[in-house]
Chain A
Amino acid sequence: GAGVSQSPSNKVTEKGKDVELRCDPISGHTALYWYRQSLGQGLEFLIYFQGNSAPDKSGLPSDRFSAERTGGSVSTLTIQRTQQEDSAVYLCASSLGANNEQFFGPGTRLTVL
């Protein structure tokens, strides 16, 4: 497919466990974004990768959250020692450049019990 893909689509985990969420951006897109959408909330920016530049991590809510992007393509968002308040839909988006429209993936719904 030509769109942004994310896996898994759903993840249920126990409090305290670590989780990894994966994002495959559209081929050729240099910018990649992670957002969090909690129930009844808007889109909360988490982290932004642009090419080979240092990522903008200003939106990560705590040091339990981290993300990496390997080879300028696939990205993994890791949440360590998950808490119930981490339950949300995690959305990934990519774009041709920083100011171009973002194409969103379907999201990963994370539920922390």
Chain B
Amino acid sequence: AQSVTQLGSHVSVSEGALVLLRCNYSSSVPPYLFWYVQYPNQGLQLLLKYTSAATLVKGINGFEAEFKKSETSFHLTKPSAHMSDAAEYFCAVTQYSSASKIIFGSGTRLSIRP
């Protein structure tokens, strides 16, 4: 069975500081991995996705994530936080070898301190 664990329901960083949101997955077969973002009172939108083409994935708004098979991790990073990055972030996993639903993590709320 697949699962996703997001460490930390709430992360707070200062503007300009590094953003690191942690995601660990469990999957018996090679996974597809996603990060979605939900801004206040808005729907979810895709930040980036890993589909085995490259382990370092670059997404929108300066975010990137690195797939580490040995650590079963797919942490999301951004070198310098901006106030507009304040949102809820969801990590998600699915199997590429079969038709199956995407499993979402519980989400991490990112706050940015001025």
Q: Which A residues lie at the B interface, using CB under 8 A?
A: 33, 35, 41-43, 45, 48, 50, 53, 56, 91, 93, 97-99, 101-107
Asked if B102 and A42 sit within 8 Å, CB to CB, the answer is: no
Give, as a whole number of angstroms, the nearest-CB distance from B106 to chain A. Answer: 4
The answer to whether A91 and B96 have CB atoms under 8 Å apart is no
B102 contacts A102, C-beta separation under 8 Å: yes
CB <8 Å contact, B43 and A105: yes
| B24 in the interface (beta carbon within 8 A) | no
Q: How far is the CB of B51 from chain A (nearest CB, A)?
A: 8
B residues in contact with A56, CB < 8 Å:
101
Known A99-B94, A104-B44, A106-B43; judge A45-B101 contact (CB<8 A): yes
Distance in angstroms between the alpha carbons of A2 and B66 in the assembled complex:
31
- B residues touching A (Cβ–Cβ < 8 Å)? 32, 34, 36, 42-46, 49, 90, 94-96, 98-107
A9 smallest CB distance to B (angstroms): 11
Which residues of the other chain, A, contact B45 by a CB distance below 8 angstroms?
104
Contact residues in B for A101 (Cβ distance below 8 Å) = 34, 46, 49
A63 CB, min distance to chain B CBs, angstroms: 20
Q: In whole Å, how far is B20's beta carbon from the nearest beta carbon of chain A? A: 19
CB contact between A50 and one of B42, B90, B99 (< 8 Å): that residue: B99
Can you give 19 A-B contacts (C-beta < 8 A)?
A35-B104, A41-B106, A42-B90, A42-B104, A42-B106, A42-B107, A43-B107, A45-B103, A50-B99, A53-B99, A91-B43, A97-B99, A98-B98, A98-B99, A98-B100, A102-B102, A103-B46, A104-B44, A106-B43
Q: A104-B44, A106-B42 are in contact. Are A99 and B104 (CB under 8 A)?
A: no
- Indicate if the CB atoms of A99 and B44 lie closer than 8 Å: no
